[in-house]
Every structure is written in structure tokens, then in C-alpha cells.
A and B are shown apart, each in its own frame.
Chain A
Amino acid sequence: MLASILASGLAVGAIYALIGITYNTMFSTSRVMSFTAGQLGMLGGVLGSLFTLRLGLPWPLGLLLTIACGALVGVVTEFVAVRPVLKSLDQHLYVLSTLALALMIQQVTAIGWSTEPQPFPRLLGGFGETVLDEKFWLPVAACLVVVVGLELLYRRTLIGHAFLAVAEDNFAARALGLPERRLRVMSYALAGGIGALAGYAGGELLLAFFANGPHLNFYGFIPVALGGLGNNRGALVGGLVLGLFQQAANFVVGGIFASVAVFTLFIVVLLAAPQGLLGSAQARRV
């Protein structure tokens, strides 16, 4: 039992962490928390199933297409729901505009795809035993690839440095001549790809289901809230801990009470530390 809690906990935890990183990647260049993060995860599963099962493409091609579509949705998010409201960031219109876009994505998927969960293809197979099945290790592997990849990007490449500069101080970055808008669009494309990959890697666990979005939105947000906005390491640790806690609670007290337990814990921790456990203090007000 312990082994299966660990396996499924780490697997869903990795998916939550990836959605958390999707939030963070969008937040870093725009200061916007977007409701489309969870929908990207949902799309990853649906598109993966569409390309590989329904259209019969080989899975590597399906994966590439899924990530490309995710990136496209990310860019659309930036153009439709983020750019127009950035000027009035303090009015928090972005909460409403991204929510609206997320709901539109969800509804189009429900009508165009299916309102029932659809199967997701098997890709590689497992290592024999059930807990080492691909549906458990794929999300973890995807999460590792993304985390390592982002670290390399941010540390080793010029464009990564530019991302960091914009995230650190938008105005100063623009004053230095960095193309802030282009960087923002690119970060949304990157986030879209990561979100879609999260859904794709977790496809066998979550299935290709149009209503996965809100669920992923919420559970992907928890690691971000606890780890502090924009903190990818916090999201990684938070996501894995959340996944393990949730699966353990699932096994011990059952599904509904596990949800209630996660929610209660989340609220209590957040009320105690609104900046997150690893976040930084509030800005000055007067």
C-alpha cells in the first residue's frame, strides 16, 4: 500500500507541480495569475488523446503537436486576456478576463470533444510492476525534464537571463532595451507548452476529460500559493508534498474527506502565511 501511495502521490504531485510552474512562468513576466493554467493541463490530455488515439498519429508527433497547441493557447491567452488589462493591473481585471477565457476553452472542448472522460493512449509501457507503470513515472519524468530545462534556460541562456530581468523589474528591463512584450509572449508560449506537457504526461491518470481544468487550476495553485508566487522550487516541493498528502488521505479516509482535508489545510496555511511559506513580504502601501 505504501508503495502505491508513493507512486500515485508522486505522479499526481508532479502534475500539480507542473501546473504550478505554468502559473509561475506566466506570472513572472506579467504579474498575472491566469485561470488558463489548469485548462492547459486539461488540453494536454484531450489533445494527446485526439492526436494519438483518434487520428492515429505516432505518439512523439502527437506529443509535439500537443505542446505546440498548448504554446498557441498560451499566446492567445496573452493577446486576448492579459495584454488588454495589463494597464489596469491594480484593478485585478485579469482575474476576470483569464477566467472568462478559461471557461470558453472548457466549453469549446466540452462541445467539440466530449463531455465524458475519454481514454488516453499507452505510450511506452512499464517496468513490469504496477507501481512502476508508465502512468506513474511519466509525470515525474516530465516534471524533472521541465525543472532541469527551466534551470538551464534561466541560468545558461541569454533569453533566460532576459526573462529573469523582466521578472525582477519590468521597468528597469524595458529601460535597458529588452523587448519586454516579446519576452512576455514567449513566456506565455513556454507556459502553454509546459501546461500541455503536464496534461499529456498525466493523461493516463486524469484521462482526456474536459472538466479537468478547474480541478488542475485549484490543485496546481496550492503549490504556488504555499511555495510563494514565482518560486519554481517552491512549486515543485509543494506539488509533490500535496500529491503525497492527497493520495495518503485518499487511502486512509476516502476521497471526499481527502478533498475536505486538503482544502481545509490549504485555507489554514494560507491564512497563517498569505505570502506562502517561502514567499517574500508585502510591498509598501503608503
Chain B
Amino acid sequence: MSIPSALAASDGPARTGIGTRLAGAAPFLLILGLALAVPLAGNDYWTLIATRAAIYWILVSGLDLVVGFAGQLAIGYVALLLVGAYTTSVLAAGTILPAFPAFAALACAGIVGALVGVVVGLPALRLRTFYFAMTTLGFATIVTQIALAWQDVTGGGIGIAGPEMPAPFDSRLGFYGLCLAGAALCTWMTLNVAASRWGRALVAVRDAEVAAEAVGIAKPRLLVAVFLFAGCVAAIAGGLFASLQTYITPDAFTFDLSLLFFIAVLIGGRGSVLGPLIGTIVLTILPEVAAPLAAWSTFLYAFLLLVIVLVLPGGIADLLDRGKNRPLPAERSIAPRQTALQDLAASATRSAPITLAGVRLSFGAVKAIDGLDLALRPGSVHGLIGPNGSGKTTTLNVISGYYRPQEGRVTLGARSLLAEAREARARLRIARTFQTPRIVAEATVIENVMLGGSVAGRATLAESLLSLPRHREDERALRDSARLALRAVGLDGLDEVRAGRLQHSELRFLEIARALMLRPAFLLLDEPAAGLSAAEIQRLGGLIRAVADAGIGVLLVEHHADLIFAICDEVTVLNLGRVLAAGKPSEIRSHREVVSAYLGG
């Protein structure tokens, strides 16, 4: 089992081994210990509350991945609690089918919940934020109405008895033990996912969606997998909830509950597991310790939500994260290392050239690219220069699949790139960087780099949940090559720093490291020298040259003429979407039109 950093990334030197694992696990073990001690208080009522908290956490642990990690505002998750509760109760009661044993009914509820989870989540693949929030709210309303109307099965407003658990789980204490074990299992699984490439991909989809596409993360598949898991655990929580209530009516599934789940995640902090766990416990206990507040519980939850949003967007996790302000070495410089790069490139794939022929693309009446021919060969640096608006970045976006030209061909060897999805570029070993670095500011530097190797991972989400051998191999391999990539670009030593704390120039090299994780055949760089100091530009030039010498084809979109002429093998000059000149740097330098139009002098 690998214990990830339990909270949002904490800075500091790279620590591995048993000590770190224990430090990461300590808060969870402490909570587990306290939970185990609850029955010793000798008050049945507190055991009941603790059971409820455990059941809620089973649901929230899955919802955390949806809301906290993937950033999807799924507000109506009480719908899944209801689906699970009714599925379990109806199957256990045997009203429509022969009666199921309680655990079989619970398992069936898990399956049904997984499917419903996907149905509820599906709109998220196309709809954003407010729209998606609305659809989940609508879904919660509809499901309650169906439960009310479908009287033959659900008992309508009269309700239905919850499933009875077999011995030894039929006693209050035994049932608590069962729920607690479930909660502990869910915590472990969520932590495993959080520390896996799935967890990193979810956060990337939330904070840097375009970059996620560029490294080959297919959002639909990712989200569907997570919705399956979240729906499954939510419905199982529903089955346990029905058993705890002993009798359920649609009224038991109020919007307050939905709110509790949702707010628990946000109070806890996005991208954290410990925070939402604490949030769930606090929100479950809150109305109990302040009995007069019970009527105001919705108001209280809403007020907490407002406070969190306005004052503490990082949630509890942010409060607990002690390392976030630890000073970084002030006098640090980026020092790329050739040997590391050669190690990294040794396994790079040789590839046929990328060829653009007669590409035309216009936005409305503006011809961004107007009949462009260009060849990008492995092992060489191809510079693309021209004034602003001449179509340089547009060309890069055509190759990397963000724009679709109206005419012309873009091929990789014999294969047409236009037929491939953007996310497929990563599998074809075409990597890119962005004009404005697109990074996950809340993740650590090494996590950002590991994101680049997402397509190399083989473990499925299920394997990651259970931390099976393939998952552990993936993580080890990704971490090793991320370290190598960081050494190659010269950012080693900053592995565990939150990426948002780096300087702009460091982010540019970070993006290159992430791109190198693909073991690319082609690397498309969009103004990598923008905002760099003269010394850094020189190091960048050395790095790019070394990348090309290792056999990678580089497309360099740049404004710094010095850099272009120092390292390029070929240069294409664009003007108004057309090729003004193309050839060796020496030819371009003496090209009369180019000099007068662009280089000056």
C-alpha cells in the first residue's frame, strides 16, 4: 500500500520510506482509533451517530473524487443514496423477486448504483459547472418523485422496511463495526486512487483541462470510471443507511443530506482525502451537539459553504498543510543535464516525419493559415517565426489537433493526423507545451511531470483502487522517469514543491519535462523562451538542441531571433498565414524580404 501525501501537496525535501508513510497515515489511524473508542463511552446514542458518520463517509469518499478531485459540481448525490437504499430494501424484502440475503442485496445495490452514477454523471461530459449542478439537482428531485409514485415497489409515501443484517451485524455494535470497516476500506481505496495516475488526471481535468488532453487523458473514459466507483459506494452507503434507519420513506432523503455530502467535500478542501473525512465527521456531529440548531441545520451548512468559498477556498486541508509556506531556495538556477536527457531519450521512438501540405484554416473572414507546406523531421529543430498573427501558434495547434483545417493534409508518415482525436496525439508520441504554461498549481512539481506519462500507465482504475501490483509498478516507473525528466531539464531538487510556487521561467522548463515524459518523437514548443532571462534562454537553447540531437523532431515557435538562428536546422517564416521564406538559418538571415519585414536592419 502506498500512502500518498494525505493533504494537498506539502513542500519540503523528497522523503520516502516507512517514516513518510507513517506520517501520512497517522491522522487516519488517529481517527480510526477514536472511532473504535466511541462504543467504550457506553452511550448507545453516540454509537448511532458514529455509525451514521461512517455511512456518510462511505458515500463522501467516492463523491470526493467527483467533486474534490475532478471538480464536477455534483450537488444531488442524495439521489444515489436513495437508489441504493431502495434497491437494497426492495431486494431484501422480496417484493418483486425472491428475497435476497442482505449482503447480496447490498452488492446488487452497488451495481445498480454504479450504473445510475454514470447516468447522473454523464451530462458532465458536455455540460459545465452551473449546468451540471442543475442536472444533478433535477435528478435528485426526479428520483424522489419516482420513489413516491412507484408504490407497488417502494411503498410510496408509506415506505418500506430496511434490510436486516445477519448476525453478528444485527446488533448495534456489530453493525457499527461493519460500517466502520466499510469506511476504512473506502478511505484506503480513495487514498490509493488519489496517489495514482487516475487521481492526478482527475485534478488535471479540473485545473488544466487543455494540458490533460495534450498528455493523452481522455476525459470521458476517466470520468465514467470515477462515476462508476462513486455511484457504487454511494449506493452501498444507501443500503447501510436503510438498515440503520430500519424503515425508509422518500422523506428520509432530504436535500439537506445532499448538501451535507457536497459541503463536507468543500469544507475539507479540494484534492484532499483527510479534509473531507474530517468535514464529514464535523457536519454529522454538528447538529447533534447543538440541539437547538437542528432546525437551522440547512442554514448552518449553507453559511459554512459561503464562509468556505469567501474566506477559505482551500478548506480544512489548506489549514492543516504546514509545509506550504516553507521557503524555497532563493538562489536557484535551472541547470539542464545532458546525461539525464540521453538516458530519457534512449527509449524514444524513431518516427516518420510530420508533413503539412496545402493547409488552410480561416476563422470567419480571417485567413489564419493560407496554404501552408511544412515538414517536421525527427532529429532536427524546425523554427517557425513571423510577426504576431502570422499563424505560428495556429500551425502548432493544427498539428496538435486543437484546430481542424478546412483544407489540406497533415500526415505522420502515411497516417493522416486529421483523423485522430486530440487526445490520441500523445499515443503517437507528439508532445507540446503552451504559450501560457498550463500546469496544476496545487499539485507538486513531480506530480505535474508524472502527469505527462499518463498514457504509459497500464493499471485500470480498479487495480489502482486496490493497489494491485500493476498499479505499484506504474507508479514506480512513472516516478523514476519523472525524476529523470526533472534532472534533464534542470529542475531537480524541487520535486515536492507545489508547482504554483515556481517562477514563470521554471514553469516553462516544467512543461518541457512533462512533455519529455511521453518519450516523444516530436516536441512542439510554443514560445518557450518568452519571459526567460538571457542566461535561461541560453540554457533553453542547449536543452532544445540536445533534445533534437537525441533524435526528437522539434517545432519551435519563437520570437527570439537569436535563439532561432543559434539552434535551428530549418526555419520557416510566416506572414499572414503564408510562407514568406523557408530554408537554412543562413539563407533566412540573408533573405531580403524577411530582413526588411521582420528582422529589421
Question: With A and B bound together, what is the CA distance between A102 and B128 in angstroms?
Answer: 20
Name the residue among A81, A100, A286 with the largest chain B CB count within 10 angstroms: A286
Known contacts: A214-B141, A256-B145, A260-B142. The answer to whether A274 contacts B126 by CB under 8 A is: yes
Interface flags for B280-296 (1: CB within 8 Å of A; 0: not) read: 00000000000000011
Question: With A and B bound together, what is the CA distance between A58 and B282 in angstroms?
Answer: 48
Name the residue among A93, A103, A218 with the largest chain B CB count within 10 angstroms: A103
Known contacts: A107-B298, A286-B402. The answer to whether A99 contacts B75 by CB under 8 A is: yes
Contact of A107 among B123, B133, B299, B397 (CB under 8 A): B299
Q: How far is the CB of A114 from chain B (nearest CB, A)?
A: 13
Q: How far is the CB of A235 from chain B (nearest CB, A)?
A: 15
Residues in A with CB closer than 8 Å to B138 are: 218, 263, 266-267
Structural contact, A267 and B135, CB atoms closer than 8 A: yes
Q: How many A-B residue pairs have CB under 8 A?
A: 109
Structural contact, B302 and A93, CB atoms closer than 8 A: no
Interface size on A, residues (CB 8 A): 39
Interface flags for B294-310 (1: CB within 8 Å of A; 0: not) read: 01101101110110111
Question: With A and B bound together, what is the CA distance between A100 and B148 in angstroms?
Answer: 28
Is A42 in contact with chain B by the CB < 8 A criterion? no
Is B39 in contact with chain A by the CB < 8 A criterion? no
Contact of B310 among A97, A99, A108, A225 (CB under 8 A): A97
Secondary structure dominating the interface of B: helix
Q: How far is the CB of A124 from chain B (nearest CB, A)?
A: 33
Structural contact, A101 and B131, CB atoms closer than 8 A: no
* Closest partner residue, chain B, to A225 (CB atom): B131
Is B485 in contact with chain A by the CB < 8 A criterion? no
Interface flags for A162-177 (1: CB within 8 Å of B; 0: not) read: 0000000000000000
Residues in B with CB closer than 8 Å to A103 are: 259, 298-299, 301-302, 305
Is B357 in contact with chain A by the CB < 8 A criterion? no
Of residues 59 through 77 on chain B, the ones whose CB sits less than 8 Å from some CB of chain A are: 73, 75
Structural contact, B148 and A97, CB atoms closer than 8 A: no
Structural contact, B210 and A286, CB atoms closer than 8 A: yes
Is A111 in contact with chain B by the CB < 8 A criterion? yes
Structural contact, B305 and A100, CB atoms closer than 8 A: yes
Residues in B with CB closer than 8 Å to A214 are: 137, 141, 255
Is A106 in contact with chain B by the CB < 8 A criterion? yes
Structural contact, A100 and B402, CB atoms closer than 8 A: no
Q: How far is the CB of B366 from chain A (nearest CB, A)?
A: 12
Q: How far is the CB of A210 from chain B (nearest CB, A)?
A: 11
Is A131 in contact with chain B by the CB < 8 A criterion? no
Structural contact, A218 and B134, CB atoms closer than 8 A: yes
Residues in A with CB closer than 8 Å to B26 are: none
Structural contact, A285 and B210, CB atoms closer than 8 A: yes
* Closest partner residue, chain A, to B300 (CB atom): A107
Is B266 in contact with chain A by the CB < 8 A criterion? yes
Contact of A101 among B126, B306, B393, B397 (CB under 8 A): B306
Structural contact, B302 and A286, CB atoms closer than 8 A: no
Is A241 in contact with chain B by the CB < 8 A criterion? no
Interface flags for A151-165 (1: CB within 8 Å of B; 0: not) read: 000000000000000
Question: With A and B bound together, what is the CA distance between A267 and B121 in angstroms?
Answer: 12
Q: How far is the CB of A97 from chain B (nearest CB, A)?
A: 5
Is B434 in contact with chain A by the CB < 8 A criterion? yes
Contact of A104 among B128, B303, B308, B402 (CB under 8 A): B303
Is B4 in contact with chain A by the CB < 8 A criterion? no
Q: How far is the CB of B20 from chain A (nearest CB, A)?
A: 31
Q: How far is the CB of A46 from chain B (nearest CB, A)?
A: 17
Is A278 in contact with chain B by the CB < 8 A criterion? no
Contact of A100 among B73, B146, B306, B434 (CB under 8 A): B306
Structural contact, A259 and B130, CB atoms closer than 8 A: no
Q: How far is the CB of A282 from chain B (nearest CB, A)?
A: 10
Question: With A and B bound together, what is the CA distance between A71 and B502 in angstroms?
Answer: 45
Of residues 227 through 286 on chain A, the ones whose CB sits less than 8 Å from some CB of chain B are: 256, 259-260, 263, 266-267, 270-271, 274, 285-286
Residues in B with CB closer than 8 Å to A88 are: 313
Q: How far is the CB of B31 from chain A (nearest CB, A)?
A: 26
Structural contact, A259 and B142, CB atoms closer than 8 A: yes
A-B contact pairs, 22 of them (CB 8 A): A81-B306, A84-B310, A92-B73, A97-B310, A99-B75, A99-B133, A100-B305, A100-B306, A104-B299, A107-B299, A214-B137, A215-B141, A218-B138, A225-B134, A256-B149, A259-B141, A259-B142, A266-B135, A267-B135, A270-B126, A271-B126, A286-B393
Told that A103-B298, A270-B127, A270-B131 touch, could you supply 13 new A-B pairs with CB distance under 8 A? A95-B133, A96-B308, A97-B309, A101-B302, A103-B299, A107-B299, A108-B299, A111-B296, A214-B141, A256-B149, A263-B139, A270-B135, A271-B123
